Every structure is written in structure tokens, then in C-alpha cells.
Chain A
């Protein structure tokens, strides 16, 4: 038990010590918000059929993106937290860990929990953008966000650990992650609403775990009940499978199930690591 805690603690300690990483984590969301938000929001809303008047007058692209930014940050941080596993292998610290009497399962769990916690911190840091965006975030929203972020981060950290356990070099890991990260982000609805996609793409969206993760954040951040059906439609807030609109609870179950599968696979794979 204490082993799990120690592995977790090391990740937290290093997260807060690494200032450049902390600051750097703002760069991408900031860029997205400026670029898409201010620069392109006009183009985006007109593309979506909205104009000065009409039902979509309320569509604010920056506002739309905000939950996506949180999702993206949590996702990136969680998956890159597994990079430390590969780095530890390269720099030798993994040996110190692996030759100790701790069980491999504790080490894997500690790593996943560490990555998840760091991702939640990062996600929360994105809330500093709130005053500039104009969304209103209540205290209750934040309380709801934290466990949701943790659940998503847990699933993604486990996925990262699974990949990290199969690879030996940092470059290899980064390459695999880059190849995975962008399609998953683009097909998750984090950056733009996914309306009117071709059938095959729609299938990819529906099997992408990130889709449900991002949708959870949207459901928490937006006050959907107060929106017109047209706006809900335009913002892609009616995620459904076989004409069944998916509820928040169902999404928690889906992401929870994915977490479970990945954490089991990752732990198993990690256990076979030789020092």
C-alpha cells in the first residue's frame, strides 16, 4: 500500500517541481482559444448556418470549445504521464523501482494514480481561462468536474501505461502517442461539433473513448436545459447511438468500463517488465 503511495507521491512531487512543463501546458489551450475562439469563431458560426439573427445567435464558439479544452488537457497530461515510465527505463530509475520488494501491480496502480492526479491538476488549471471566455462556472460545476476529470484521466493514464510498457524508447513512445492523439482529439467533438459526418467517420467517433469523455465535460459545463433544440443540435450536444441519446450516467459507465479494461491490461503488461 505504502508503495503505491510512494510511486504516486513521486509523480506529484515532480509535477510541481517542473515549472517549464507547468507553464508549457497552457500554450496549446491558449493557442486554440485565441485561434479558433477569436479569429475563427465568426467563420465557424456562419459555417454552422448561424448568422446575426436566428436560433443560433447564442452560439459562441469559444464557449463551445471550453469543455473540449479541459478534455484535451486532461487527455494530453494523462497520456504523457506514462512517458515518465519510459524515461525511468532510459534513465535507470525504473530499476530502483523494479528491484524493490513492491509488487508490480502496486507500481502500475501507483503510476496510473499519479498520472491521473497530475491530469486533474492540469485540467483545473485551465479554469484560469474562465474569466476571459465568458462562461460562468459555479462552485458546484467544479465539484462535478473533479471526479469526472479523474475518471477520464484514469482511463487514459492506464492506456498510456499500456503503451509505455510495450516500448523501450522515449522517441518510440512519443511517435505512437502523436499518431494516436490527433485523430482521437479531432474525432471527439472537443474542437468542433461533429455534425453531418459520413457514416464511417461517425462510427470512429462513437468508438472513440474521448467522445464520451468530452461529452461529459460539456454536459457539466453547459446548462443544456436552457438551450433551444437548434442550439443543442448545432453544438453537437445530442450524442446518441442508434437514436438513443446517451445520458451522463451511461457515459460514466462507458468510461468506467474502459478504465477497468485498460488498467487491467496495463497492469498485466507492466508486470512482465524485466528490470
Chain B
């Protein structure tokens, strides 16, 4: 697969704060590439540099072969952008929003009607074409934005937290559309998220923390690197249990809200043995496969806290409505 996005040592500095600390990676044509990381990790800043919205402090990147600083307009024609916060004109109809976009991007006059019908169909909004956007639900607005982002047939579609602030059902729908896009249009999709389950769907995931990339691989591979399975137990004496496990099995144990978590090889076999041997009474046990959250936990010692983040983002999104 040829490379469509090439990033070399990209940095962004705000006064004395380095928001992005020199990231390098390639994105292959046709893949779904995900940026995973907690709020403030530098995901949006990176996407904004790649999409020419802000200038990098140093480093280079090319999209579709065009340099993001030297060939801004070429880059802009090559990409579609869906931002964290809405950028629709809500006083206008869906059709007017789409028509204006065609004109902004110089889509040939005779292609417009066909393209508009096509993208509306992809996101199931054909029957809402002449309605004012103000009357749309949050999910419909998101879908319309995705449709609009596709009108000029971009090579890469950037989505910054595409499902933030949406209810789970709508989130699932948006994902259906994104996957449909990948299949139908063969478009490269570059997205950011702090939802683990969304990162799972990506072909490859770059894990970002404090402005740096700390891992980049297929989700399956990332989880494999965690090593074995995750065992979560609660005991009558967690403090003693923690030190006992660490001593006996030479593994790191994390304690949170009364639950001890640690990694083990071949979890099912281990568990049988463990329950038999362990002296401190166990009150609950849970054995599971590692998730991307464990990947992040493993790499940083912290969790990506979904609840607080999405709450904050929802407030951001609500602004101005």
C-alpha cells in the first residue's frame, strides 16, 4: 500500500509549552488510522497542523505528496475535515450547506447535483435535503458534516472526535457510515478518539500522551504486547494481597476502587492454580482479555478517563447553541 500521509518530527509549541513534541509516522492509503489519547494529549493540535489550520513550529509533513506548509491549497483540496465542534451554518438548509461547499472547493457545476445526491445517500439524509440544519438532531448534523466533507472527493478524511457528545446508538450509526465509506470510496480515514472501542475498529492506532507518540500498531498487536490476560480480583485484605502477589508472581499490581489488577500469561490456567493456592480470601474474580485501555495503562501507568472527558467535550460542543 502506498503512503498517503508522511509525518516527520512534527512539533507545535505554544509559548513555553510544547503541545506536540516531534511526532513521526506514516499513514497508508485506504486505511483507517486512529489517534488515541486522553484529552489534552495533542491529538487535535496534530490534526490541525496536518490539515493546514495551524502552522507547525518545526518538522514537516506531506499529504497526497504535498507539503503542508509550502502547498497549503493543494493539501486543502486533497483533504476533508470534520471537526470536534460543528462547522455547519445552521440557518441554512442541508442543500445550501452542501452547495456552498461545492463552490468553495471548485467542484464542477455539472457534477454538483450528482455528488450531493450521492453523499446524502451515504449518510441517509436524502429526505432532509431541504430542511434547515437548525432542526436537525446532533447525530444528523454530524452525518451532514461527514457528507459535506466528502463532496470534493478528498483523498484523506480527517475526523476529530467524530462521535463525541453523541449517544451510544448514534455513535454506532456514525461508525457504520465511516466503515461504509472505507469500503465504497476507498478513502483514507484519519481520526482521533478517546474512546477505546472506537480505536479498536481502526486498522492501526497511534497512542498519544503528553504530545508524544508512545505506541503505533494494529490494535491486536498492541494488546498482544501487553502480555497475556488481565486478572481483576478483590480480597478481604487488599494491601497484604497486593504485596503477596507482587512477591510471588513478579508482576506489577494496580489497585483502584478496591480492585487489584494485574497481567498474567495464559490466564485460564493461571486462575485455577491461583484460586487454589492464594491464602487471603478472595471476594470476586474477573479474567478478561486486554483492551486498549490496558495498553495505555501499561504504557503510562494511567487510564484514559472516558467519563470526565466526554462530559467536558459535550459542554464544548453545546457552546453557542
Query: Which residues in A have some Cβ–Cβ distance to B below 8 Å?
Result: 2-3, 5-6, 9-10, 13-14, 17-18, 90-93, 95-103, 274-275
Contact = CB atoms under 8 A, between A and B. Distances in A.
A98 B83 contact: no
Contact of B83 (A2, A6, A92): A92
Interface string B267-292: 00000000000000000000000000
A240 to B, nearest CB: 47
Interface in B70-109: 73-74, 76-77, 81, 83, 85-92, 96, 100-101, 103-106
B105 A100 contact: yes
B218 to A, nearest CB: 30
Interface in B28-58: 48, 51-54
B76 A101 contact: yes
A6 B91 contact: no
A98 B89 contact: no
Nearest to B145: A96
A9 B97 CA distance: 12
Q: Which 3 A-B pairs have the closest CB atoms?
A: A6-B103, A100-B104, A92-B87
A10 B89 contact: yes
B101 A96 contact: yes
Interface in B106-125: 106
B102 to A, nearest CB: 9
Contact of B87 (A3, A93, A101, A274): A93
B301 interface: no
B320 interface: yes
B104 A102 contact: yes
Interface residues of B, number: 28
A95 B53 CA distance: 8
Contacts of B48: 275
Given A90-B320, A92-B87, A93-B88, A99 B103 contact: no
Given A14-B92, A275-B48, 19 more contacts: A6-B100, A6-B104, A9-B100, A14-B91, A17-B91, A17-B92, A18-B91, A91-B86, A93-B87, A95-B81, A96-B87, A96-B89, A99-B51, A99-B76, A100-B104, A101-B76, A101-B104, A102-B104, A275-B54
Contacts of A90: 320
A31 B96 CA distance: 36
Interface of B: 48, 51-54, 73-74, 76-77, 81, 83, 85-92, 96, 100-101, 103-106, 148, 320
7 contacts: A3-B103, A3-B104, A18-B91, A90-B320, A92-B83, A93-B87, A275-B54
Nearest to A96: B87
Nearest to B48: A275
A96 B103 CA distance: 12
Nearest to A92: B87
B196 to A, nearest CB: 27
A99 B88 contact: no
B92 A13 contact: yes
B157 to A, nearest CB: 13
B43 to A, nearest CB: 17
Nearest to A87: B320
Contacts of B96: 10, 13
B186 to A, nearest CB: 22
A2 B106 contact: yes
A9 B48 CA distance: 28
B73 to A, nearest CB: 5
A99 B53 contact: yes
